[in-house]
């Protein structure tokens, strides 16, 4: 292999250096800011190439190699880049964030110091209705008058909670105990350090439309405003092959095959065996997996064979 | 939530208990055997349901819930099952195996003990040619006469290496140093303990057709002979939604959309922009990503708009 | 090596099976209960012995081997045991707990379900003063009258917070948003699965006297009421060689050496160089590291050479 | 807390930049070279201080804070530094190295490329005898004539193995299969990226005198030649509080207490109960834990009460 064993200089990313330390605002009083980083797109290529040895350099161009790695889930080279962020985030949101176990974390301690004097405020136009149908998530904004009422009561609760907290401190109660009834909306701060592979995994889950709005706002700030500048080729490959990719299950794949072969009856049977189709007293039962499949079929210009004039998927 | 706080009994899997400790042979002298396990399909359901609280039990049936978790990559409940295997495997293969960092391992030590007196033998009918086109992998079996010759030389090398090893030991050389020139084919043994989520990840990579035959043989023994009995519902969901699923990239998705909308020209342009199509002096350049895409299109009954009578993908 | 390749039965621990699923109460309304486990002391021995190969069985007895492993930080065999707990714990305490990244977790979701209707209550006799001198921790109990007042205000705050939460839900606000101002004292529940090595690490930190009382109560319940029964030999070794062991730094070691050699002057110089001794305007400065060292010296029957009639360590 | 939210510059370490990329030789043909790094001593302080909030800056100086963190095992701030090395190491040694699971790794692939044409050679003066008494390790150098003989046979084996490998490749055998009988001494290369906390853990095990000479040579190169320059304050604290620290078990601590109190009889009983003392037909049995304890007692100027004129620890 090539013996690259001479003195080198550190890799740096000019565009990222431009805003190192500058906070990107998220929510009413949160932020993310880049503190430091290691590596960039070229570091991924460098690490991947140690596997391939010399001769293969001619074959792949950098961009093609990175896209190849992303497409085929060769994930280890993406671990060769690392980033360290300083974030300010409501504890409620942080509770979700911290579930990702592959990062290094140092958080502001309310045992050592008085809690940050800020709780996330919800504006009258930001209160969301519970989503119907799904078990989680939200859907639609409440009417403005109700919103005003909720925000005003929120403000009162924040003030009350803070007063109780301060009173405890003034009585000499230990900080570790006084904090126990602070609202989950209280802001905390942390250094959060993670490698690019694990960061992309975090983003694929938290930029998803199933993620809660609040953490999604942080994920989008990190993805679109930071990673897109730090490792632009990787970011584009991530959008193409991960975030905006679609999966076809073995069942879907086989059903499509039967339809294209012209055997609709077999296609329907495969869908039944795969649990996509079942019937209740009012006909075809509602099934989210099938609905998503029908959406894909429409994209391929294929009409689902189980959808007939008098038998549509929305009954029951 | 339901307060299930009464005495319980351990979960066990009768069919797995039947062959606990019994080796499943792999390669000429290797094996995997189950030593212990924790949990089964129902443990995954149990863990998932703590998220959903009581009321949702009626909605989901166990099978549906597990398939829902697998399809939507809710991976944490699968971590609630754990298995411990005793494996015997050539060091060469173990070098790949051990790269999976999420397992607990205790390996036979050739510092403490004399190395296992067995190296993996290759039968005359098992020598494989280097794959052409790809940079890794093998393709086809060498002629039997050549195979015999290779096997016979292998045997001689194994004997020679062992003799040198034994001679060193007889001279009093430290085991930790005497072992240094043993062939990579020398068998080692280990206890290997891993949770089901990480095991499935291991299997998705090592049962793949890109994986080397040797480790693939172990992966298939573990998947088909062990996991399929241990957690049968999860195993089926894994085959449907992971191992045999197909991914469509954002580019592919958009190209299909354009084709179905009837705009072939736009479809070709999207494919060009996405790097799937480029032209050399002999026409359309070879491109593996496009070849895989064309295979998918065929499955959907769609003719790639860039494939014309005089312009096929195999030129150059 | 010994080819133990016959059918085996699962390892079980009778005394643990006796209280499987039975909650052990912690705090006013929390608990820990064992759901499942894998392995016991003998599994650690089994895993360690694969390293040693045959022949060494005679040398070590099980107890001796486990103590040898613990003393010399051969930690991997302890990973071969696994336990799964169901815990109910205030979110404030859970925030510390979840920082241990080596466990598998499924937590009750307040996106999916209405939050558990319980917040940890502090009795009038449980309010603690802020520790002086240290930057964290608590020290002493507040007077009963003050305690009564604090508890009564806590109750009012809990009620107020809950009312706001319920009102939001009644207005149709999404659960994921309604929960944002619940107090940190709100109880949550989780399945928590971890291997013995990482559990002991958790316990060594959380049974320590620096740990906050609340999480310490959980750690003690897990250690004394569960691990002590599950793996009794390991537990004893852990107490001897980890939890109740003392460390002597290189500096301390060298200072002792000089004192015993009779060279007090050199001992003092070493202590100065190591930062244990420095002087302010009022003499010897307060230094916690030196205070801890002096405590150790007293145990060895050695008088610190820097402590003279007119020069004690408490000045300044 | 202090709102440090302005533009910043990346942290760099001039002395490390001086030899970035320059290989440090290890063994006959191996090396380690620094490719990139993130952070330094000041980054550890920065991360620790987010816990303490403002106001505490005055109390601690940087050096004192880092030593405090190391002494009290507050390990997370040390995770905030990261380093990436390029290493060249015999596979035999790499097998031990890779057992540390907390690093990111990209290794030279002998599936993609022809194996590196170098195996670690042992000079006639480097062959070590098996340690007696211990089950692992080596002790002393074999006579030069024997060494010459062993080295000459090693050279022949290396040549033979390589010839078989090359012949297989020439016959068209797949690289992934041809490599199977290469000696474990064959060199491999890898990028290895790890955070400082986990690197120090690696070094504490691999710089230990129980570690095999070969990996110890790498550990010492990394520790003394790299980390010592990269994070000098942390390195010194590591040597003082980790690498060269001594542990006293609960048993030892209690025995010392009894001796100093003048109750030798009770001290002996405690030592017996703790398993340090037991008697065979020839008197006091050999026991390594007791021998280490006696060494510590000597350091404290304390005579073990069980050592009498006619009863010394070396019998049996």
B203 and B223 Cβ atoms separated by less than 8 Å: yes
The predicted structure's pLDDT at residue D308: 67
Beta carbons of B248 and A246 less than 8 Å apart: yes
The predicted structure's pLDDT at residue B309: 46
Confirm or reject contact between C244 and chain D (CB < 8 A).
Answer: yes
Supply the angle between the helices D250-260 and C288-299 in degrees, to the nearest 10: 60
The answer, yes or no, to whether residue A307 has pLDDT greater than 90, is: no
Q: Which letter does DSSP use for residue D295 in this model?
A: H
Tell me the pLDDT of chain C averaged across its residues: 91
How many residues can be counted in chain A?
316
The predicted structure's pLDDT at residue D258: 93
Q: What is the distance between the alpha carbons of residues B50 and C301, in angstroms, rounded to a whole number? A: 56
State the pLDDT confidence band at D69, using cuts at 50, 70 and 90. very high
The predicted structure's pLDDT at residue C294: 94
The closest of A136, B112, A164 to C48, measured between CA atoms, is B112
Question: Greater confidence, A260 or D159?
Answer: D159
State the pLDDT confidence band at D53, using cuts at 50, 70 and 90. low
- Degrees (nearest 5) of the Cα angle C52, C58, C61? 85
The answer, yes or no, to whether residue C134 has pLDDT greater than 90, is: no
State the pLDDT confidence band at B55, using cuts at 50, 70 and 90. very low
The answer, yes or no, to whether residue A313 has pLDDT greater than 50, is: no
Judged by CB atoms within 8 Å, which residues 123-162 of D form the interface with C?
Answer: 135
Count of CB pairs separated by less than 8 Å, A with D: 158
Dihedral angle computed from the Cα positions of residues C279, C284, C287 and C288, in that order, rounded to the nearest 10 degrees: 170
Average pLDDT over residues B50-68: 70
| Helix H or strand E segment including C294 | helix C288-299
Tell me the pLDDT of chain A averaged across its residues: 91
Q: What is the distance between the alpha carbons of residues C27 and C120, in angstroms, rounded to a whole number? A: 8
Which residue has 């590291």 as its token pair? C289
Tell me the sheet residues that pair with B83.
B37, B194
Beta carbons of A300 and B260 less than 8 Å apart: yes
Average pLDDT over residues D223-236: 98
State the pLDDT confidence band at B51, using cuts at 50, 70 and 90. confident
First-to-final CA distance of chain B: 65
For A287, nearest residue in chain B (alpha carbons): B64
Confirm or reject contact between D209 and chain B (CB < 8 A).
Answer: no
| Nearest CB to D300; choose among C246, C250, C256 | C256
The answer, yes or no, to whether residue C37 has pLDDT greater than 60, is: yes
Please give the structure tokens belonging to residue C205: 């930190």
State the pLDDT confidence band at D199, using cuts at 50, 70 and 90. very high
Beta carbons of A112 and C135 less than 8 Å apart: yes
Beta carbons of B193 and C80 less than 8 Å apart: yes
Q: What is the pLDDT of residues B186-199, one digit of tens each?
A: 999 999 999 999 99
- Burial status of residue A310 (CB atoms within 10 A of its CB: 0-12, 13-18, 19 or more): exposed
The answer, yes or no, to whether residue D96 has pLDDT greater than 70, is: yes
SS (H, E, C) B185-242: CEEEEEEEEEEHHHHHHHHHHHCCCCCCHHHHHHHHHHHHHHHHHHCHHHHHHHHHHH
The closest of D184, D202, D165 to D90, measured between CA atoms, is D184
Average pLDDT over residues D123-152: 92
Tell me the sheet residues that pair with B36.
B84
Q: Which residue in A168, A206, A269, A298 is the catalytic one?
A: A206
Q: What is the distance between the alpha carbons of residues A115 and A187, in angstroms, rounded to a whole number? A: 8
Tell me the pLDDT of chain D averaged across its residues: 91
The predicted structure's pLDDT at residue A314: 45
The predicted structure's pLDDT at residue B301: 87
The predicted structure's pLDDT at residue B313: 45
Q: What is the distance between the alpha carbons of residues D308 and B199, in angstroms, rounded to a whole number? A: 58
Average pLDDT over residues D46-51: 89
Chain A partners within 8 Å of B249 (Cβ):
71, 240-241, 244-245
Confirm or reject contact between B272 and chain C (CB < 8 A).
Answer: no
Q: What is the pLDDT of residues B295-313, one digit of tens each?
A: 999 988 899 999 864 554 4
The answer, yes or no, to whether residue D292 has pLDDT greater than 50, is: yes
Question: Which of C119, C126, C184 has the highest number of chain A CBs within 10 A, making it the mutation to test binding with A?
Answer: C184
Measured in angstroms, the CA of D106 and the nearest CA of chain A are apart by 6
Supply the angle between the helices B264-273 and B250-260 in degrees, to the nearest 10: 170
Q: What is the pLDDT of residues A155-168, one digit of tens each?
A: 999 999 999 999 99
pLDDT > 70: what percent of chain A? 92
Chain D partners within 8 Å of B180 (Cβ):
90, 92, 120, 122, 183-185
Measured in angstroms, the CA of D92 and the nearest CA of chain B are apart by 6
Q: Which letter does DSSP use for residue D179 in this model?
A: G
Structure pTM?
0.95
The predicted structure's pLDDT at residue A286: 87
Q: Which residues contact A249 (CB under 8 A, 6 or more apart)?
A: A274, B71, B240, B241, B244, B245
Beta carbons of A190 and D50 less than 8 Å apart: yes
| Nearest CB to D249; choose among C240, C275, C300 | C240
Active site residue A111: no
Judged by CB atoms within 8 Å, which residues 165-204 of A form the interface with B?
Answer: none
Chain C partners within 8 Å of A101 (Cβ):
101-102
| Nearest CB to D300; choose among C56, C63, C300 | C300
Please give the structure tokens belonging to residue A40: 């960039």
Please give the structure tokens belonging to residue A85: 């962020």
Chain A partners within 8 Å of B77 (Cβ):
none
Average pLDDT over residues D230-235: 98
Task: Say which range, B5-9, C92-96, C126-130, C185-189, has the weakest mean pLDDT.
Answer: B5-9
| Helix H or strand E segment including C200 | helix C196-206
Measured in angstroms, the CA of B49 and the nearest CA of chain C are apart by 8
| Nearest CB to C128; choose among A122, A173, A212 | A173
**SS3 state at A268:** helix
The closest of D156, D83, D146 to D119, measured between CA atoms, is D156
Confirm or reject contact between D53 and chain C (CB < 8 A).
Answer: no
| Nearest CB to A172; choose among C135, C142, C176 | C142
Measured in angstroms, the CA of A99 and the nearest CA of chain D are apart by 16
Max avg pLDDT among C27-41, D39-53, D292-306 = C27-41
Q: What is the pLDDT of residues B100-147, one digit of tens each?
A: 999 999 999 999 899 999 999 999 999 999 998 767 788 899 999 999
Tell me the sheet residues that pair with C107.
C190
pLDDT > 90: what percent of chain D? 80
Question: Which of A11, A17, A84, A117 has the highest number of chain D CBs within 10 A, making it the mutation to test binding with D?
Answer: A84
Confirm or reject contact between B246 and chain D (CB < 8 A).
Answer: no
Q: What is the distance between the alpha carbons of residues C243 and B17, in angstroms, rounded to a whole number? A: 37
Confirm or reject contact between D21 and chain A (CB < 8 A).
Answer: yes
Q: Which residue in D49, D67, D206, D290 is the catalytic one?
A: D206
The predicted structure's pLDDT at residue B152: 98
Beta carbons of D22 and A5 less than 8 Å apart: yes
The closest of C101, D179, B216, A221 to B224, measured between CA atoms, is B216
Beta carbons of C299 and D56 less than 8 Å apart: no
Beta carbons of C173 and A130 less than 8 Å apart: yes
State the pLDDT confidence band at A53, using cuts at 50, 70 and 90. low
Q: What is the distance between the alpha carbons of residues A168 and C159, in angstroms, rounded to a whole number? A: 18
Confirm or reject contact between B256 and chain A (CB < 8 A).
Answer: yes
For C48, nearest residue in chain B (alpha carbons): B106
Evaluated on CA atoms B26, B30, B35, B38, the torsion sign reads negative
The predicted structure's pLDDT at residue C308: 67
Max avg pLDDT among B64-68, C63-67, C149-153 = C149-153
ipTM over 0.90: yes
The answer, yes or no, to whether residue C313 has pLDDT greater than 60, is: no
Question: What's CA B5's distance to the chain center, in Å?
Answer: 39
The answer, yes or no, to whether residue C3 has pLDDT greater than 70, is: no
Task: Say which range, A256-260, B232-236, D283-287, has the weakest mean pLDDT.
Answer: D283-287
Chain D partners within 8 Å of A86 (Cβ):
50
Q: What is the pLDDT of residues C145-187, one digit of tens each?
A: 999 999 999 999 999 999 999 999 999 999 999 999 999 999 9
| Nearest CB to C50; choose among B1, B39, B190 | B190
The answer, yes or no, to whether residue C31 has pLDDT greater than 50, is: yes
Q: What is the pLDDT of residues B153-192, one digit of tens each?
A: 999 999 999 999 999 999 999 999 999 999 999 999 999 9
Beta carbons of C179 and A92 less than 8 Å apart: yes
């Amino acid at each position: 292999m090539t013996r690259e064993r001479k003195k080198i200089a550190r890799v740096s990313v000019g565009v990222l250096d431009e805003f190192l330390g500058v906070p990107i605002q998220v929510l009413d009083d949160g932020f993310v800011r880049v503190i430091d980083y290691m590596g960039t797109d070229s570091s991924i290529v460098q690490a991947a190439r140690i596997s391939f040895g010399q001769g293969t350099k001619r074959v792949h161009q950098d961009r093609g190699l990175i896209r190849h790695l992303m497409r085929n889930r060769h994930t280890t080279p993406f671990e060769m880049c690392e980033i360290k962020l300083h974030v300010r985030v409501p504890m409620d949101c942080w509770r979700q964030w911290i579930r990702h176990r592959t990062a290094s974390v140092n958080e502001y301690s309310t045992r050592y110091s008085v809690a940050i004097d800020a709780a996330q405020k919800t504006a009258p136009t930001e209160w969301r209705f519970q989503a119907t149908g799904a078990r989680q998530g939200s859907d639609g904004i409440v009417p403005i008058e109700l919103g005003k009422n909720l925000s005003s009561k929120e403000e009162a609760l924040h003030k009350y909670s803070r007063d109780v907290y301060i009173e405890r401190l003034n009585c000499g109660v230990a900080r570790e105990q006084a904090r126990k009834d602070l609202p989950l909306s209280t802001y905390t701060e942390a250094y959060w350090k993670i490698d690019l592979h694990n960061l992309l995994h975090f983003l694929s889950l938290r930029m998803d439309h199933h993620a809660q709005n609040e953490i999604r706002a942080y994920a989008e700030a990190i993805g679109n405003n930071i990673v897109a500048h730090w490792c632009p080729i990787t970011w584009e490959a991530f959008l193409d092959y991960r975030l905006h990719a679609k999966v076809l299950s073995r069942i879907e794949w086989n059903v499509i095959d039967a339809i294209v072969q012209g055997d609709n009856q077999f296609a329907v049977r495969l869908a039944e065996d795969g649990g996509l189709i079942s019937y209740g007293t009012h006909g075809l039962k509602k099934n989210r997996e099938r609905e998503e499949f029908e959406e894909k079929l429409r994209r391929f210009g294929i009409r689902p064979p189980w959808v007939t004039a008098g038998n549509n998927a929305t009954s029951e």
